[in-house]
Amino acid sequence: MALLDVRNLTVDFDLGAESLRAVDDVSFTLEPGEALGIVGESGSGKTVTALSIMRLLDPRARITHGRIWFDGQDLVTQDESAMESIRGRRIGMVFQEPMTSLNPGYTVGEQVAEVYRHHLRLSHAEARRRTIEMFERVKLPGAREMFNKYPHEFSGGMRQRVTIAAALACGPSLLIADEPTTAVDVTIQAQILSLLGQLQRDMDLALLFISHDLAVVSELCTRAAVLYGARLMEVGSTDAIFTAPRHPYTDGLINSIPQRGQPLQGVPGTIFDLRTPPPGCRFHPRCAHARPLCHRDVPEFTRSPANTPGERGHVYACHYPLDSSRG
Ligand SMILES: Nc1ncnc2c1ncn2[C@@H]1O[C@H](COP(=O)(O)OP(=O)(O)OP(=O)(O)O)[C@@H](O)[C@H]1O
Ligand code: SF4
Ligand SMILES: [Mg+2]
């Protein structure tokens, strides 16, 4: 059984006179110990999907359709006290900006130790011991001395290590990391990604890794889900998606990865306003392969034959998919 089974998730924002659908009929699964990347341009619904799983949505947002099965329980129907114990204990989350989850008024050690005291009811001494152990695990140099430091005394990369320590303190089975390296420079980014990969393997963690960068996702994850304008475009193994993308948008994302010495291309055009999505395939205004049918009908998901090597569970929503033998 999948550890996480998101089915037809739909999230609407009520913005007074207007409303918008930030996540539209999105489904994917994550097996225990597996790493799945969610990729897409800014505004495609990646964070809203993650916050739906954590049930930490903005008060103006509501899950209007769908189920989020986690370890056999539907998170959509859990009350706040049930979610409070699931968060932190069974699902950890790391945000883009570490200061979102750190309190500037407390030492980093106290903040992580509090997670142990609150969720596992450990004594002060035991919580401190476990925190230092966790700091070593996330490779914070001089873990013992770090305990009494305040967040402002840390660099962005060190702060992100602290939030990873806090997210993993109670040994969750799922870690959600939402663009965890956007706020740090490239060298630190590589270190944090390698740490996440190592922790995922060592702790047998399922990882839901969110990024706008398909290259990073392909390093860390075995599967990827591509979102565009609140909808899922393609899901499959990172191998299949990279070597033989079937959806033109995925192909555009791959082509936008900068090659050595070449400028960043980007997918031509800009994402539409979610308040007024285009009819038919919502990628059609930017798609070089669009034909009249694309302007009119929403494409259904097609599954590649299961016996095609590297394409297990490869699905895509396109009327005129790219040729799978190109790669
Ligand atoms: N608090 C909010 N109030 C109103 N609309 C919101 C809010 N948060 C998100 N949205 C809407 O939902 C859409 C999806 O937002 P989301 O934050 O999930 O995008 P994202 O894919 O995480 O983008 P990014 O890469 O920039 O983080 C946005 O385009 C925006 O229209
Ligand atoms: S359905 Fe049509 S417009 Fe949409 S991605 Fe496929 S070819 Fe392009
Ligand atoms: Mg986001």
- Full DSSP string of 188-256: HHHHHHHHHHHHHHHTT-EEEEEES-HHHHHHH-SEEEEEETTEEEEEEEHHHHHHS--SHHHHHHHHT
Report the C-alpha gap between 130 and 136 in whole angstroms: 10
Separation of CA 246 and ligand 2 centre (Å): 10
Report the C-alpha gap between 253 and 178 in whole angstroms: 18
Report the nearest atom of ligand 1 relative to the CA of 58: 1
**What domain count does the chain have?**
1
Do residues 225 and 279 make contact, with C-beta atoms less than 8 angstroms apart? no
Question: Between the CA of residue 249 and those of 214, 271, 304, what are the distances in Å?
Answer: 12, 11, 17
Separation of CA 299 and ligand 3 centre (Å): 25
The parent domain of residue 313 ranges over 222-327
**Tens-binned pLDDT, residue by residue, of the chain (327 aa):** 899 999 999 999 999 999 999 999 999 999 999 999 999 999 999 999 999 999 999 999 999 999 999 999 999 999 999 999 999 899 999 998 888 789 999 999 999 999 999 999 999 999 999 999 999 999 999 999 999 999 999 999 999 999 999 999 999 999 999 999 887 888 889 999 999 999 999 999 999 999 988 889 999 999 999 999 999 999 999 999 988 999 999 999 998 887 766 666 678 899 999 999 999 999 999 999 999 999 999 999 988 765 555 445 899 999 999 987 654
Using a 6 Å cutoff on CB, does residue 40 contact ligand 1? yes
Residue 204 lies in a domain: no
Residue 271 lies in a domain: yes
Residue 215 lies in a domain: no
Strands 91-94 and 174-178, sheet pairing: parallel
- pLDDT tens, position by position, 180-212: 988 788 888 999 999 999 999 999 999 999 998
Residue 319 lies in a domain: yes
Helix/strand number for the chain, H first, E second? 11, 12
In which element (H, E) is residue 134 found?
A: helix 124-137
Other beta carbons within 10 Å of 13: 18
Tokens of 74: 């539907």
Question: Between the CA of residue 225 and those of 241, 247, 288, 297, what are the distances in Å?
Answer: 9, 12, 22, 22
Using a 6 Å cutoff on CB, does residue 312 contact ligand 1? no
Residue 148 lies in a domain: no
In which element (H, E) is residue 164 found?
A: helix 156-168
Residue 297 lies in a domain: yes
Cβ < 6 A, ligand 2 pocket = 247-248, 281, 283-284, 287, 289-290, 294, 299, 318-320
Report the C-alpha gap between 190 and 42 in whole angstroms: 21
Which ligand is the nearest neighbour of the Cα of 44? Answer: 1
Residue 320 lies in a domain: yes
- pLDDT tens, position by position, 40-76: 999 999 999 999 999 999 999 999 999 999 999 999 9
Other beta carbons within 10 Å of 101: 17
* Protein residue with least CA distance to atom 2, ligand 1: 58
Half-sphere exposure of 199 (CA within 13 A, CB side): 28
- Closest among 150, 154, 125 to 140, alpha carbons compared: 154
* Protein residue with least CA distance to atom 6, ligand 2: 318
Residue 252 lies in a domain: yes
Report the C-alpha gap between 133 and 240 in whole angstroms: 39
